[in-house]
Amino acid sequence: MPTVVGHEAAGVVVETGTGVSKFVAGDHVVMVFVASCGRCSYCSSGRPNLCQSSWKARSEGTLQSGARRLRINGKPLNHYSGISAFAEYAVVSEKSLVKIPKELPLTLAAIFGCAVITGVGAVLNTARDVAGKSIAIVGLGGIGLSALLGAVLGGRRTIKKIDTKESKLELARELGATHVFLGSDPDCVAKVKEVTDGGVDYAMEMAGGIAALTLAYAIGRRGNTTICAGLPPHDATFPVRPAELVSDERVVMGSYMGSSVPQRDIPHYAEQFMTGKLPVDRLLTVQLSFDQLNAGFDKLDDGEVVRQILRCKS
């Protein structure tokens, strides 16, 4: 602190600085919250979502170059994830941008930078081989419902969706879930196992809580993979019986930013949307202005919305 927040955004390039070669004024872009340096061992091995220099810059509140370009009353402000998008204008590294077709509405393009790339990517990149498999997704926010869309796109056999909000379960049905369950139901685990012959092949935690991760692990079958993409509190712990990992050949793994390569995946997902195969427009609940921002956070905290978009310019 102090910082300008906002890590999921899209916009139009207004001006470029010295050395910028990939973009020109007028380009439509999606901003991604992990910039890839292209040189470290992670970037070189196809895992730019784990870029070392990006992690350092994010922890220090700077752009990837180490610079701060935001000020108020002459005093520097920190950049949030190299984006700081809750503003009319943002100064970002070109490494944080992905060019998109101008036909993709910016109000939808914004959610490709986090919700879509994280949720869809967790299915198609982290889990990978989901065709013909059963998948359960715990948590139906923007990321969880994006994962549902990714599972439908990936050709899964059955999709189970679990949440504590009836309205989100209904939306999940409309988007392709074959079964829905209330996470607050004390018999939830038993009911999932009953319709899946003992559990699911892939269970995904998308809610950001240990209770959700515990539930996801519990509904897995032998040989299951449980994927955590919801970012529980950093000091939370999750108990696992190692003997069970061996006897059941269970796998527990993380998925950060959908294990994605943004320059590859965002244009592909945009194409899938524009051809009607990835209906991410169904995730947009409401558009907000700056004076509605705090109320928007209250709605998010209540779990009554999926994705809200802040319109920074009229």
What CATH number is associated with residue 139? 3.40.50.720
**What region does 38 belong to: left with phi over 0, alpha with psi -120 to 50, or beta?**
left
| The length of the chain, given as a count of residues | 314
Query: In this predicted model, which residue has the larger pLDDT, 128 or 189?
Result: 189
pLDDT for 128 equals 87
Residues 38, 65 share a domain: yes
Residues 173, 48 share a domain: no
- Model pLDDT for residues 59-117, shown as the tens digit of each residue: 999 998 899 999 999 999 999 999 999 999 999 999 999 999 999 999 999 999 999 99
Residues 275, 247 share a domain: no
Q: What's the whole-number mean pLDDT along residues 258-287?
A: 95
Residues 276, 253 share a domain: no
pLDDT for 159 equals 77
- How far lies 199's CA from each of 174, 241, 296, in Å? 23, 18, 37
Domain boundary among 215, 234, 257: 257
- Model pLDDT for residues 16-44, shown as the tens digit of each residue: 999 899 999 999 999 999 999 889 999 99
Domain boundary among 236, 257, 278: 257
Which structural domain range is residue 212 located in?
Answer: 116-257
Per-chain mean pLDDT for the chain = 93
Q: What's the whole-number mean pLDDT along residues 169-176?
A: 92
Residues 253, 135 share a domain: yes
- State how far the Cα of 289 lies from the Cα of 291, in Å rounded to an integer: 6
Query: In this predicted model, which residue has the larger pLDDT, 53 or 122?
Result: 122
Residues 122, 99 share a domain: no
Residues 277, 295 share a domain: yes
Least confident of 24-28, 104-108, 160-164, 224-228: 160-164
- State how far the Cα of 300 lies from the Cα of 288, in Å rounded to an integer: 12
Residues 178, 83 share a domain: no
pLDDT for 314 equals 60
Task: Give the residue among 213, 266, 205 at the shortest CA–CA distance from 33.
Answer: 266
Q: Please check whether residue 12 is in contact with residue 26, taking contact to mean a CB–CB distance below 8 angstroms.
A: yes
Q: Report the domain count for the chain.
A: 2
Residues 94, 64 share a domain: yes
Residues 12, 132 share a domain: no
Q: Please check whether residue 296 is in contact with residue 288, taking contact to mean a CB–CB distance below 8 angstroms.
A: yes
- Model pLDDT for residues 276-297, shown as the tens digit of each residue: 999 999 999 999 999 999 999 9
Question: Which segment, 125-129, 164-168, 277-281, is predicted with the most confidence on average?
Answer: 277-281
**For 189, what's the count of Cα atoms within 13 Å in the CB-facing half-sphere?**
12
Domain boundary among 213, 231, 257: 257
Predicted structure pTM score: 0.93
Residues 271, 244 share a domain: no
What CATH number is associated with residue 19? 3.90.180.10
Residues 187, 73 share a domain: no
**pLDDT tier, 191 (very low <50, low <70, confident <90, very high otherwise):** very high
The answer, yes or no, to whether residue 313 has pLDDT greater than 80, is no
Place of tokens 């319709």: 195
Tokens of 74: 């002459």
